[in-house]
């Protein structure tokens, strides 16, 4: 991740990925997490085994899509509109 290297001085994730296993819902957007980060994806699978819902939002069906509970095949370039809808849905409750 070159952008992280330029911003934070290292090109690695800046979160504690092991904490994913404690999630109730994981939204993966625009990434084939299962193939690109197989070590980190094991924490997503640990959450799923605990009953978490995995949502994959990406135009391309991939191994991550296959492992997800919900696959949302949005069109390329519509991710901001999708996230805006999620925010509106959540804020109306």
Kindly state whether residue 71 falls inside one of the protein's structural domains.
yes
Phi, psi of 81 (to 5 degrees): -65, -40
What pLDDT score was predicted for residue 90? 83
Kindly state whether residue 4 falls inside one of the protein's structural domains.
no
Domain count, the chain: 1
pLDDT (tens digit per residue) in 48-63 = 999 999 999 999 999 9
Residue-number span of the structural domain to which 41 is assigned: 17-91
Kindly state whether residue 59 falls inside one of the protein's structural domains.
yes
Kindly state whether residue 58 falls inside one of the protein's structural domains.
yes
CA distance 19 to 1: 20
Identify which has the larger pLDDT, 88 or 15. 88
- Mean pLDDT, residues 2-10: 59
CA distance 39 to 27: 17
Burial of 33 (0-12, 13-18, 19+ CB in 10 A): buried
What count of residues does the chain have? 93
pLDDT (tens digit per residue) in 15-73 = 788 999 999 999 999 899 999 989 999 999 999 999 999 999 999 999 999 999 999 99
Q: What is the pTM of this model?
A: 0.79
User: Residue 39: which H helix or E strand, with range?
Assistant: helix 38-49
Kindly state whether residue 22 falls inside one of the protein's structural domains.
yes
**End-to-end CA separation in angstroms for the chain:** 36
């Amino acid at each position: 991740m070159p952008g992280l290297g330029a911003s934070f001085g290292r090109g690695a994730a800046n979160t504690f990925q092991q904490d994913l296993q404690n999630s109730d819902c994981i939204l993966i957007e625009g990434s084939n997490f299962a193939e690109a980060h197989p070590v980190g994806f094991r924490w997503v699978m640990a959450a799923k085994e605990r009953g978490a819902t995995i949502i994959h939002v990406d135009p391309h069906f991939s191994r991550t899509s296959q492992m997800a509970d919900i696959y949302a095949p949005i069109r390329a370039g519509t991710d901001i509109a999708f996230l805006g809808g999620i925010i509106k849905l959540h804020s109306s409750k």
